[in-house]
Amino acid sequence: MPVHAFIFPGQGSQAVGMGRDLAAAFSAAREVFEEVDETLKQKLSRLMFEGPAEELTLTENTQPALMAHSLAVLRVLEKEGGFALRQKALVVAGHSLGEYSALAAAGAFDVATAARLLKLRGQAMQKAVPAGLGAMAALLGAEMDLAREICAEAAPVPETDRTEVVEPANDNGGGQVVISGHRTAIERAVEIAKTKGVKRAMLLPVSAPFHCALMAPAAEAMAEALEKSPACEPVVPLVANVSARRESDPGRIRDLLVQQVTATVRWRESAAAMAEMGVNSFIELGSGKVLTGLVKRIVPEAAGLSAGTPADIETVLKAL
């Protein structure tokens, strides 16, 4: 018998056109997009549906846009399938900003609160580091121990007594680790990785070095915002990025969301932990299929489905 986890994508899954067909086909989706537009006092849905891509990929737009799409998919599934999330999901989880989508799905935040928090989060993360100072890189064919070794070798600045920030940002599983920090240190890490048998090491086209110590100013901004934001216990537990464990206490979830800004996203451990809890079906809600692919490498025996378009809705409802 299938035991489902509902999972929610993070930055990088956005695409112009996201949510457009869903809004055209389902009033439940339109209601979510309209609520987010009204909350943020901007036509975010138009930006999602029509672009331009360079504006959609601004972090402060991408983060609430991905959440809006994910929640719109969930609302359509619930309405068309005649169920509530707690009846179908054992746990929820999200990758980075997707954690806010997961919490909104599970009722810990309402949609408006999640939208405001993600808008602020995107702005704070972008402001935390001057443009050009930070970078991120993907190490393909590297597990965490090797990634940490590479970071340790890359941190010292040659011919000085200084060190720079270079840390694992995402442990995505399947031998994919993303590192984050000062651009010069990341560039050194890429070169070091090539000497250590890493299949591929490449800089990523990102606007800031997420999930590392350089994001400390953004963590402070989120701590203040989260303290003022109402939160409830989620109707099903969250498997958190920072702890890779089930979490239900609203106070602890707030603390983990603050830590998450500078901490490693432990996605590999989170997916494995969900499998140990009995999850054998992962359903990704929102834009793209990134997490579905990652989970397949971590828990190959589990079923994986993604839902982001009207065509996906019927398939997922059958699986549920």
Is 211 tagged catalytic? yes
What count of other Cβ atoms lies within 10 Å of the Cβ of residue 298?
A: 19
Q: What SS3 state is found at 303?
A: strand
Tokens 């920090």 label which residue? 181
Sign of CA dihedral 259, 220, 92, 175: negative
Q: Which of 45, 96, 180, 243 is labelled catalytic?
A: 96
Q: Which of 69, 211, 270, 287 is labelled catalytic?
A: 211
DSSP letter for 243, please.
T
Task: Return d(Cα 307, Cα 208) in angstroms, integer.
Answer: 29
- State the virtual CA torsion across 70, 45, 114, 237 in degrees, nearest 10: -10
Radius of gyration of the chain (CA): 19
DSSP letter for 157, please.
P
**DSSP-derived pairing of the beta strands 176-182 and 134-140:** antiparallel
Is 96 tagged catalytic? yes
Q: Which residues are catalytic?
A: 96, 211
